[in-house]
Structure formats: structure tokens, C-alpha cells
Amino acid sequence: MKFGHFDDEAKEYVITTPKTPLPWINYLGTKEFFSLISNTCGGYSFFKDAKLLRLTRYRYNNVPMDNNGKYYYINDGKDVWNPGWQPSRTPLDFYECRHGIGYSRFTGKKNGLSAEVLAFVPTDDACEINKVTIKNESDTVKEFKLFSYVEWCFWNADDDMKNFQRLLSCGEVEIKGSAIYHKTEYRERRNHFGFFSCNCEINGFDTIRDDFLGLYNDNDRPDVVVNGKALNTVASGWLPIASHEIDITLQPGESKSIVFILGYVENPDDDKWESYGVINKKRAEEMQERYNTDEKVEEAFSALKAYWDNLLSIYRTTTGDDKVNRMVNIWNQYQCMVTFNMSRSASYYESGIGRGMGFRDSCQDILGFVHLIPDRARERIIDIASTQFEDGRAYHQYQPLTKKGNSDIGSGFNDDPLWLIAAVSAYVRETGDLSILDVQTPFDNDESKSTPLMDHLKRSFNFTATHKGPHGLPLIGRADWNDCLNLNCFSEHPGESFQTFGPSEGPVAESIFIAGMFVKYGNEYADICELRGDKAEADRARKEVKLVYDATLDAGWDGKWFVRAYDAFSHKVGSEECEEGKIFIEPQGFCVMAGIGVPEGNAKTALDSVKEKLDTRYGIMILQPAYTKYHLELGEISSYPPGYKENAGIFCHNNPWVSIAETVLGRGDRAFEIYKKTCPAYIENISEIHRTEPYVYSQMVAGRDAKFHGEAKNSWLTGTAAWTFVNISQYILGVYPTLKGLSVDPCVPKDFGNFKIDRKFRDAVYHINVEHTSGSEKGVKKLIVDGKEVKGTVVPFEEGKTEYNVTVVM
């Protein structure tokens, strides 16, 4: 069942009923000011940090589910209703929500009135604009009242939910003209305030929540809206809000639009006040001025569209499959940018007050968006590397505002250092910018301990090379990519964090997943060394890689698949000899991606086992059989009910690893089959089962053992976005940036047909035509660059050339 449809021309998903199986959200904002917005106008806004600088209040874990947002109520004399349906939930005559790229547009119709809300964050301002347009579609004069409503958050979203004894006495507002200012804590230590304004005269306002709603009311039918008269309340303490009353009369066919702005403003410390106790509103008024007409809003909206059109023009494909086109050209890349901006902080499943930026998460996010904004990838890489320790270890997380490593969680996740190599390699391959390797980069944010970034990579590499266990395989530490495989933890009491309890390091537990990473990224490290002329270091690295390659095929091979790990007693995890958890997905995908066992035949056997043991119609499960009891020696993984999360869920993140691995073997049919199983556009028509947004990936789909097999959770902020984009763009469609230039080596289904790719790469545009011979899955028969046949798969790079016409025959 579908609850809407794609509009590819407009790059929108059109939701046609407010009652989606879960709230289906979108993100507004490109740099510093962000909003989450659901298909019924729920959500919230923040500046830079969803925990520390939250402007409006949202209620997670509430009833009804999607509670609080930026709401517009219409009282037309007959009904009270909202164009986005919530929170009144008055049935509408027509409802539509169009989630676009960086904006959302809602249309609600009722009793002859049509109301449209266009919501977006301009590219260069710290505000959200809501343009509300109301049209009288009837043949009689309409007189009605419009009420706006936002509820302020006391900035620190964590405190906001807890510290009532203090905060309920702190709320302060100011009202000037049609703008309502939220200035809680501005008097003392804050230099910032929020405002909610509109560009027309108002008939009244409210800032005291409980007077506006009525103390024992929900926000579905606020007293003020129902009574049709604002009370002009001025908050002092308690819970401040901002609401405008605007009385409107429309002739038949007439329409009126009003621009509302939710803004965030910072003032310099010595320029905070206009007069005693009155905030300096100069910057706020300038911002209001920038969007005070429909034309100015239209201009800002066009600039936003141009911003995205430019980004989405960098990699574009035309294949015979609409769904591939729409995911590659629009939604997958869009999700990559959103995950880059948000990391894992704020979604409808991440409360914005939890973890900071993940070291490994952020490194992987770079793989998916580096081609879009390489400058920001560069900046992010230096931020991340600056949190690394001198011995190569890494903080598992860091805080976005301070950019400092987070000592609450600390270090000990032994895959982390290698992800830094992955990110830097992707950046250098994409841009050819070797200067990043010379950037003096601190350890643990201590400038006095800076070394060139290249030296950070060396220490990452050496960390793994020098932390190996009894089988010559890398030690796992607290965990590797799978945060829930805690082999040194042994936690017996609730409340202990699996990620921080117990020793951070054990001398025995080893990870075959990290072994796969070491081979893959160790080789990429060696390639970079070689390119820089350091042959000796490249040779040394390759020797170390070979040791781990051999150890993996030796102790890391179980007979039909790669073992997952060795636990603290040196017992195998993910082996035929285990009672539960006999086979895991991660080492199969990663080891084959790294090329381990490809010539020896193990790779093929491993992937065949994945198909046989882990595959389902909704994707590949992370392990089988699911753990049915708690295993002290394995940790969190066995704490989940079978079929959910890391205990045999379909973790979408590592499905592309297996798909990529299939392309390494040249099996295009299977690679594409795997791609389709978790790809949102292909499962749109089972939205009643899948439930999350049909335009973005979710972290997890419930596995075969779960009651709700096929149901997804944790949409939006997942490494799945980056990895699926890497998979489809670089491996299946096959346009892969190498250090020496762009390689084109597709691996597609036998009946895929011809396709095209337009790709900006470094300073040039590549127009690539792939002529696909039916029946072939992989293999470049001919590579023709500007009429000349070239050997291999890499388009030779020519200095100064800005356009390449490439034909690939496969």
C-alpha cells in the first residue's frame, strides 16, 4: 500500500494522507539553522546543536505520536482546522504534503478555503520561513481568523525536560509590532534570542501557553483559537509561546499570503541592549526585512533550489529504471547531505540530546557526500582527526559545538582509527588534493601536539598493526563497527552501559571485521604513500596487510564463511560450531570487498552462504540464528529480542557491503537484487509493512525472527545512506574515483541496458555512455575517451581539460 507518490520532475515526495504509518519527516536547513518537519507540520528547530541551542519544543515519546510543531490554526466560524491536519485533526476536504529538497509544502482545504504552508530555511540565514497562503475558493465572502503557534524551548533541550524548578521561573518575552521575542536567559549568560514574526499587522498575540491553550487542554483545540480572540498575554516565567492572531476577509477567488519567520539572532556582548532590559533587535529586524515581501521570499526560495540543483548535478544518471534514477539523482544524495549535517543527532528516533558526532559515523558519512561539498569534507576530516590520540586510538564520539572528544564514552572501539583512512582516501581520490595530508593536525585537540594529517593515518594504521591477538588478527577492544558485540564487557547489571562497562581492551578477543577493514584501508593507505613517493612506507604497509590477509584466510575462515570474531576465551563467534549466531554478515561483506579470498575461491563461497543463510525478501539479516538468550560473553548483541537491531535484524548499513562484494566477484544480478531489497523506491508499495518514509533509508528492518518482519525503524540518520550511494554510484554503475583519475567499470544485471552518467570530477565534467551488451554483468570491453580507445578502466587525467566524452562498452 502507498500513502503518496514520487514527483521526480519536482524532486518531491507527495504524501496524500496525513495518516501515514509513522510520521514522515523532512529536514530544512543547509548550514547552521535546521528544522525537522513532519508531514503534519510537527517537528522543531535548532541552531547548530540540537541539544544546546534548541529554539522550539518537541515532545518525544508522547501521545499522540507527533506532538508539537509550527502550527497554523484557522477558525472559519464553522470549524477549527489546520492546513497540515495536526494538531486539531479536523478532517480536511483535501490534504497534501510535498516533501522537497530542503523544503516542505502543505496544502489543506476546508469549507471553501484553501491554505498552503511553504516551509524552508534560506541558504544564508538563521531562520525558517513559513509562507502561508490562503485562498477563498468558494463563491461567497469568507471571514475567518488565522492563529499561529510555536512553543519555545529553554535552549538546552536536556534541561528543558528536567529542570522545572528553575526554568519555570525564567521565561521572558518581548513583543514589538508583529514580532514576538523569546529572551529567556538573555539577561545573564546568553547572547542569543529567538523570534517569531509575521509581515502583516496582527489583531492580537499570546505568549502564555496555558492561557492560550487552556490549562487542561491539549493543543488540538486551544481556547484562544476556539473563542476566536487572542488575549494579548505577556509571559513571565512558566511556559512561553508565540502566537499571532490575524483576522482575514477574502472575496471569492481572492487570496492572501503572510510570511512568518522563526529566527535565531546573536548579538555581540557589548551590543546586547537597546535600552535597559530591552534587547537590541537591530539584527532581528534586518532579518525580518530580508523576507518581508512575497518577492523576497520567492528569491530566497529560488536560491535554495539553485543550491540543491547545483549539488544534485554533480552525479546524475539516466538508466532505464526510474527507481534507480530517482534514488541516485535525488533522494539518496539528499539523505547523504542530511546525515552529514546531522550526524546521528536529531531525527524522530534520535532525540538531539544523546550522543555527539560519532568518529566512525562521521568518517563514513564523508564517503557519501565528499563529491558534493569537498571543502566541508576537508574541514570535517581535520575536525575528526584532531580528536585522535597520539597512539592512533580515537575518541568514539566528539561534540559538535566544542569539537572536542567526548570523555564520557572515551575510546577503545578498535575499528575507529581505520575509518579515518577510509575518509581521507575518499577525499583524496575525489579531489586529488594532496595538500590535506600536510595539514598540521593536533592530537586530542592539543595544538602543541600537532603533526601532519599523513602522520595521523600512519598512526591509525599502526594502531591496528600493533594490536593483534593470539591468531594474528586485530583486537576488537570495546567493539568494532557493531557497537553491540561487546566481547570484553561481561555486564551483569541493568544500567551498565555495554559501551563503557568493563575494560576497554582485552588481550584475546579479535575481530575478523577489523581484519577486512585493515586489508582494504591498509591497501588504500599504501596507495597514498606510493603516490607521495614514500615507497618504503608503502612496502611496509603492504607487508603488514599481507600478514592480516593470511591470518584471515587461516584463522578467520570457518569452512563456508568468514568467522566474525574470537571472544575473550578465544572461542569463535559466527561459526558453524556456535549454537546461535553461526554466521554474521559483516566479515563476509567487508573481507570480500577488501579482496580477501577472491583468487582462492573463499569469497564466492562466503557470499553464497550469505544468500543461503541470511537472505530474506526484505534484505539480508545481520546474523543467524538469532540469539535467544543473553550471552554474557557477547554483550548487547544478545540483549535484543530476536530479529531486532543487531540481533538478527536486517541492518541496512551492511547490506551494501555485500552488494559491493558481489560486484567484486562480478555478479551484477545478485548485487542489484540486494540493492533493490532495502532501497526505499522499490518498497514504496509496501509502506504499510515498511512504515518509515519511502524516500529514505532506515537503519534497520526487522528480521525474520521478529514479529513484525519487514518493519523498519530509525529512518534518516544512518550510515546506510552513504554506503548505498557508494554501492550504486561507484560499484554497480561503476564510476569510481581513483588516485589516478575516474574509473568506469560497471557491474549490472544482465538485462540492465544502456545507461548514461554525467559526473563532475575535479575540474571537469565527464559525459559517460555505457553500452551494455545484454547478458554481460561486468567487464569493460572497450573504453573510448573523446574518440580514442584507451586501455583499462581509468579515464586518463589531462591537466586543464574540462570536458570528457567517454564511451564504455561492456
Catalytic residue numbers?
483
Q: Is 422 in the site for ligand BGC (CB under 6 A)?
A: no
Nearer to ligand BGC, 414 or 699 (CB): 699
Task: Work out whether 430 is an interface residue with ligand BGC (CB under 6 A).
Answer: no
Stretch that binds ligand BGC, among 316-324, 356-364, 463-471, 786-794 (CB under 6 A): 356-364
Q: Crossing angle of helices 359-369/332-342, nearest 10°?
A: 150
- d(CA 118, CA 298) in angstroms, rounded, equals 11
482: contact with ligand BGC by CB under 6 A: yes
Q: Are 114 and 137 in contact (CB under 8 A)?
A: yes
Can you tell me the distance from the alpha carbon of 345 to that of 401, in angstroms, rounded to the nearest whole number? 12
Q: Which residue minimizes CB distance to ligand BGC?
A: 483
Kindly give, in sequence order, each residue whose CB lies less than 8 Å from that of residue 491, ignoring residues fewer than 6 positions away: 498, 501, 502, 632, 635
The span of 355-363, 403-411, 563-571, 575-583 binding ligand BGC (CB under 6 A) equals 355-363
Interface with ligand BGC, residue 358, by CB under 6 A? yes
Torsion, CA 651, CA 654, CA 660, CA 664, rounded to 10? -120
| C-alpha grid cell, residue 565 | 570474531
Minimum CB distance to ligand BGC smaller for 27 or for 723: 723
> Cβ of residue 608: shortest distance to ligand BGC, in angstroms?
25
Q: Which of 98, 109, 360, 613 binds ligand BGC (CB under 6 A)?
A: 360
Alpha-carbon gap, residue 649 to 584, rounded angstroms: 11
Of 551, 540, 657, which is closest to residue 596 (Cα–Cα)? 551
* Smallest gap from residue 646 Cβ to ligand BGC (A): 5
Find the shortest distance in angstroms from Cβ 457 to ligand BGC. Answer: 21
Contact status, residue 632 vs residue 490, Cβ threshold 8 Å:
yes
Q: Determine, following the binding rule CB under 6 A, whether residue 26 of this chain makes contact with ligand BGC.
A: no
Site string for ligand BGC, 664-683 (x = CB under 6 A): --------------------
Among 198, 370, 454, 484, binds ligand BGC (CB under 6 A): 484
User: Whole-number minimum distance, CB 654 to ligand BGC, in Å?
Assistant: 8
Compare residues 705 and 745 and give the one whose CB is closer to ligand BGC. 705
Task: Specify the residue, 484 or 770, whose C-beta has the smaller distance to ligand BGC.
Answer: 484
Region binding ligand BGC by CB under 6 A among candidate stretches 1-9, 254-262, 477-485, 523-531: 477-485
776 Ramachandran zone, left/alpha/beta (phi>0; psi -120 to 50): beta
Question: What is the smallest separation between the CB atom of 499 and ligand BGC, expressed in angstroms?
Answer: 10
CA distance 260 to 413: 46
For residues 277-306, which are near ligand BGC according to CB under 6 A?
none
Smaller CB separation from ligand BGC, 437 or 484: 484
Find the shortest distance in angstroms from Cβ 361 to ligand BGC: 5
Q: Would you count residue 361 as binding ligand BGC (CB under 6 A)?
A: yes
Calpha distance 244→236 (Å, rounded): 18
Nearest distance from C-beta of residue 239 to ligand BGC, angstroms: 33
Closest contact distance (angstroms) between CB of 695 and ligand BGC is: 21
Residues 232 and 256 sit within 8 Å (Cβ to Cβ): no
**Least distance CB 346 / ligand BGC (angstroms):** 14
CA nearest to 70, candidates 138, 146, 150: 150
Closer CB to ligand BGC, residue 360 or residue 564?
360
Question: Would you count residue 12 as binding ligand BGC (CB under 6 A)?
Answer: no
Q: Residue 693, interface with ligand BGC (CB under 6 A)?
A: no
Of 183, 344, 458, 459, the one binding ligand BGC by CB under 6 A: 344
Total residues binding ligand BGC (CB under 6 A): 10
Segment interacting with ligand BGC, rule: CB under 6 A, options 54-62, 230-238, 481-489, 502-510: 481-489
Residue nearer to ligand BGC on the CB measure, 284 or 594:
594
Smaller CB separation from ligand BGC, 597 or 649: 649
DSSP-derived pairing of the beta strands 583-584 and 623-624:
antiparallel
Beta strands 446-452 and 179-182, pairing class: unpaired
Residue number, 95 or 501, with CB nearest to ligand BGC: 501
Smallest distance from ligand BGC to CB 643, Å: 16
Q: Which of 719, 721, 718, 620 is nearest to 674 (CA)?
A: 620
For ligand BGC, the binding residues in 60-79 under the rule CB under 6 A are none
Cβ-based nearer residue to ligand BGC, 343 or 730: 343
Instruction: Choose the binding region for ligand BGC from 152-160, 163-171, 190-198, 353-361 (rule: CB under 6 A).
Output: 353-361
Helix (H, G, I), strand (E, B) or coil at 531: helix
Q: Which is nearer to ligand BGC, 258 or 336 (CB)?
A: 336
d(CA 694, CA 5): 9
Asked if 483 touches ligand BGC (CB under 6 A), the answer is yes
CA distance 187 to 236: 14
CB of residue 645 to ligand BGC, shortest distance in Å = 8
HSE value, Cβ hemisphere, 13 Å, CA-based, for 44: 29
Contact 181, 173 (CB under 8 A): yes
d(CA 87, CA 65): 11
Say if residues 740 and 628 touch (Cβ distance below 8 Å). no
Closest CA relative to residue 409, chosen from 420, 395, 419: 395
Q: Report the site for ligand BGC in 77-136 (rule: CB under 6 A).
A: none
Cell of 694: 519511502
Choose among 650, 711, 718, 656: nearest CA to 683. Answer: 711
Q: Pinpoint the alpha helices (H) of 594-702.
A: 602-614, 655-664, 668-678, 687-690
Whole-number Å distance between alpha carbons of 393 and 381: 15
Q: Which is nearer to ligand BGC, 358 or 589 (CB)?
A: 358
Closest distance of CB 350 from ligand BGC, Å: 9
Contact 205, 245 (CB under 8 A): yes
With beta carbons less than 8 A apart as the criterion, state whether 268 and 191 touch.
Answer: yes
Q: Using the rule CB under 6 A, which residue among 85, 212, 481, 697 binds ligand BGC?
A: 481
Which of the stretches 78-86, 269-277, 478-486, 521-529 binds ligand BGC when contact is defined by CB under 6 A? 478-486
DSSP string, 293-309: SHHHHHHHHHHHHHHHH
3-state SS class at 143 = strand
646 makes contact with ligand BGC (CB under 6 A) = yes
At 165, list the grid cell.
524548578
Residues that bind ligand BGC (CB under 6 A): 344, 358, 360-361, 481-484, 646, 699
